[in-house]
Structure 1
Amino acid sequence: MTTAFDSIDLSGTPLRNRIAMAPMTRSRAGEGGLATDLTAEYYVQRASAGLIVTEGIQPSVVGQGYPDTPGLHSADQIAAWRKVTDAVHAAGGTIFAQLMHAGRVGHPVLLPDGLINVGPSPVAADGQVYTAEGPKDFITPHELTDAEIRATVADFATAARNAVDAGFDGVELHGANGYLIHQFLAPGSNRRTDAWGGSPENRVRFAVAVASAVAEEIGASRTGFRVSPGNPANGVSEPDPEPEYTALAKELGALGLAYLHVVEVGDIRDLTVRLRQDFGGTLVLNPHSEGPTGPDALALVEDGTADIVAFGALFLANPDLPARLKAGGPYNTPDRATYYGGTEKGYTDYPSLTQRP
């Protein structure tokens, strides 16, 4: 029987186990969107994961949605991330960069003068974003033109090349949680009537274009893709997600991507199983019923539901999570008050099993 502690070949990249660290925004980048020495320490502490997927990294200046998030669109950012990847590799880890364009999520005060947030349609997201000036309502985004859409696709490909130059083992494209790719997938945020909207087949076109461009730039074997069907995060509305996601899974499978990463929000297990069949490759699953200690998630590898299981907050608070899962605990409790921004507190100061008093 295959277990989550067994190794796996991820399209030519060997993983020591089938336990992944899910991407989590931490908002601790330095000035200019640079990874820091603290960033390196944070990921090195978690290098026992079979696969680390970083926090969302903006592929372009206008792709930033939150304060103090890192980028991969400048030479300085590439050099800063190289220190992180070198350190993770020295610790025996494997690390993919998650490329995340926030789209309409964010606010112009987070962007250089003259830039505004963009989206598939001029439809504002519900809610607010935290800024140095306090909470700000999401604005009505600039509707991307056809030429701007194609330029954005190129930005993703360039950022993917930058990620490889920075030493990452691959990239994950963030098509989930209400950000730009997800905004194109969802009918509530994509009201277009051209080739980039309307039917489910047209709404998946941007996602496929990004995946195709990135796969061509760095290789399909180094490209993963994350989705969260039906997830209402950041005001996204998908009343019937199955048509576009089954179409998307088939298209991504035809590209031969390294993996499809499904985030389950609500009871969508039947759709998850369908997406795995349609994709046909490695499935990374961030399950809905992760539970406080994770045993249920580990069983998803054993019963064949997933090839790799991803953990979020549990990995945030437990840098040596694979060892803790194997031992059956105990587990540190994540401190929500320190999730975003700040210092080493709630970032690199969670103890490992060997550091417990």
Structure 2
Amino acid sequence: MPSTALTSRLFEPARLGALHLPNRLVMAPMTRNRASADGVPQPIMATYYAQRASAGLIIAEATTPNAVGQTYPDIPAIYTDAHVAGWRRVTGEVRAAGGTMFLQLQHGGRIGHPDTTGLMPVAPSPVAFPDPIVTPAGSRPGVVPREMTVAEIRSTVADFAAAARRAIDAGFEGVEVHGANGYLIHQFLSDVTNHRADAYGGSVAGRIRFAIEVVEAVADAIGPARVGLRIAPGVTANAMREHDIEHVYPALIGALANKGLAYLHIVFADPTQPLFRRIRRDWPSTLIANPALPWPTPFPVDGGRHAGERLLGAGADLISLGRAFLANPDLVERFRRGAPLNPVRAEHWYGGGELGYTDYPLLTAPAGLAPFDWR
């Protein structure tokens, strides 16, 4: 049985660069499709995030740094003044509620569609996404993306840096570069989606080059202590496949370890795997670990607390949880009390209004509630 609320490290304060976090629970970024059609965050998003401000850190949902990088309808963006203004309302309400926010920057690469953006998606190589893609007109087959030129790679790197500057202008404390879950940066890392023969493909050094350039450009734009990187070694989300993670990720970590970044965020982390232990050994700053299994794995009754405690014991500094925060605005307090959790209403996850978004009930049990048995 994991530690009780009185002794659990989950509730200890932590440092993240210059930031002081009240606990070690991080709200993971989750796409919810509640922005406007042109990517402007809506007022209901401010309510949603402010409700969850008791998290030690909120990493706001995947946000596109340019038009061609958009994945799905109604996801937020951060490349116009209107986007900045929309996000500024969100960060203002979260700050007023005592919360701290980073913004995740995500370029979809091949996970995009002309029916959504009016543009042909771009990727490291012309390897189509094999599954249907949601568009405003409904589910559509994936299209063969256009292979990025070197000039387009460089302009995309610049777009990430510009988006990071806008995120700071919008009131975020920092940004997370999304290098996981089958999106553009992950596509460059994989030998299955990257067939390039130039300096951005082929060898491990070539395939990690784009990720390094993006992170370095973002760090130069806003300062490395405001920058995190999310990775997902071996994760098969969004039809991703990788054959040499034991070489790619140590090389990537080695190239970035001395850059002074705020954190590294590992998705679906497993403390029993040698690669996790090696990354923990080689990464010098904060390590955020996400213990959840990919959707649609059933939501664990404890919300991932037990797995998170194990990861803290294995060397992680912070624990990110997604569905548990989605369904429980007061997750930190529920964990403290050992109280049962709200069930996730998956049918309302993507798109819509307040239903399944801002209407999850708060804990109403008395403070003396007996601890829930997490075993």
Normalising by the smaller structure, the TM-score range is over 0.9
Q: In 1, Cα distance between the equivalents of 2:350 and 2:365?
A: 24
Residue type at the aligned position of 1:51:
L
Correspondent of 1:324 among 306, 318, 334: 334
- Counterpart residue number, 1:18: 24
Q: 1:31 to 1:135 in 2, by over 3 A?
A: closer
Q: State whether residues 231 and 265 of structure 1, in contact with CA within 8 Å, keep that contact through their aligned partners in structure 2.
A: no
Residue-by-residue CA offset, 1:132-168 (whole Å, 9 max, x unaligned):
2221111110100111100000000000000000000
Q: Give yes or no for the alignment of 1:106 onto 2:115.
A: no
Which range moved further: 39-48 or 267-276?
267-276
What SS class does the counterpart of residue 215 from structure 1 fall into?
helix
- Counterpart residue number, 1:299: 309
Correspondent of 2:163 among 144, 148, 159: 159
Q: In 1, Cα distance between the equivalents of 2:156 and 2:94?
A: 30
Q: In 2, Cα distance between the equivalents of 1:215 and 1:268?
A: 31
TM-score, normalised relative to structure 2: 0.91
The Cα shift of 1:305 comes to 2.3
TM-score, normalised relative to structure 1: 0.96
What SS class does the counterpart of residue 353 from structure 1 fall into?
coil
Q: Give yes or no for the alignment of 1:202 onto 2:236.
A: no
- Counterpart residue number, 2:73: 67
Q: Give yes or no for the alignment of 1:226 onto 2:230.
A: yes
What SS class does the counterpart of residue 193 from structure 1 fall into?
coil
* Identical-pair percentage: 49
Q: In 2, Cα distance between the equivalents of 1:355 and 1:338?
A: 25
Q: State whether residues 125 and 236 of structure 1, in contact with CA within 8 Å, keep that contact through their aligned partners in structure 2.
A: no
Q: In 1, Cα distance between the equivalents of 2:89 and 2:365?
A: 25
Q: State whether residues 54 and 97 of structure 1, in contact with CA within 8 Å, keep that contact through their aligned partners in structure 2.
A: yes
The Cα shift of 1:31 comes to 3.5
Residue type at the aligned position of 2:354:
E
Q: State whether residues 176 and 228 of structure 2, in contact with CA within 8 Å, keep that contact through their aligned partners in structure 1.
A: yes
Residue-by-residue CA offset, 1:186-234 (whole Å, 9 max, x unaligned):
1000001111011111111000000000000001000000001111222
Residue-by-residue CA offset, 1:315-338 (whole Å, 9 max, x unaligned):
100011111111112100001101
Q: 1:104 to 1:301 in 2, by over 3 A?
A: closer
Residue type at the aligned position of 1:340:
Y
Q: Give yes or no for the alignment of 1:275 onto 2:279.
A: yes
- Counterpart residue number, 1:36: 42
Correspondent of 2:325 among 301, 304, 315: 315
- Counterpart residue number, 1:132: 136
- Counterpart residue number, 1:190: 194
Q: 1:266 to 1:237 in 2, by over 3 A?
A: farther
- Counterpart residue number, 2:296: none
How many aligned positions are there? Answer: 354
Q: Which runs of 5+ in 2 are unaligned?
A: 1-6, 294-298, 367-375
The Cα shift of 1:297 comes to 3.0
Q: 1:166 to 1:308 in 2, by over 3 A?
A: same
Correspondent of 2:152 among 148, 158, 164: 148
Residue-by-residue CA offset, 1:266-299 (whole Å, 9 max, x unaligned):
7863211211222221100001469431331342
What SS class does the counterpart of residue 87 from structure 1 fall into?
helix
Q: State whether residues 230 and 265 of structure 1, in contact with CA within 8 Å, keep that contact through their aligned partners in structure 2.
A: no
Structure 1 segment 43-122 matched on structure 2, within 5 A: 43-112=49-118, 115-122=119-126
Structure 1 segment 231-242 matched on structure 2, within 5 A: 231-242=235-246
Q: In 2, Cα distance between the equivalents of 1:177 and 1:301?
A: 20
Q: In 2, Cα distance between the equivalents of 1:241 and 1:247?
A: 10
Residue type at the aligned position of 1:19:
L
Q: In 2, Cα distance between the equivalents of 1:97 and 1:261?
A: 13
Residue type at the aligned position of 1:168:
F
Correspondent of 1:352 among 362, 366, 372: 362
Q: Which runs of 5+ in 1 are unaligned?
A: none
Residue-by-residue CA offset, 1:75-115 (whole Å, 9 max, x unaligned):
00101100100110111100000000001002111113xx2
Q: In 1, Cα distance between the equivalents of 2:148 and 2:283?
A: 29
The Cα shift of 1:60 comes to 0.4
Q: 1:302 to 1:97 in 2, by over 3 A?
A: closer
Q: In 2, Cα distance between the equivalents of 1:58 and 1:355?
A: 40
RMSD: 1.7
Q: In 2, Cα distance between the equivalents of 1:222 and 1:61?
A: 24
Q: In 2, Cα distance between the equivalents of 1:176 and 1:192?
A: 19
What SS class does the counterpart of residue 276 from structure 2 fall into?
helix
- Counterpart residue number, 2:344: 334
Q: In 1, Cα distance between the equivalents of 2:102 and 2:188?
A: 24
Q: State whether residues 125 and 145 of structure 2, in contact with CA within 8 Å, keep that contact through their aligned partners in structure 1.
A: yes
The Cα shift of 1:19 comes to 0.2
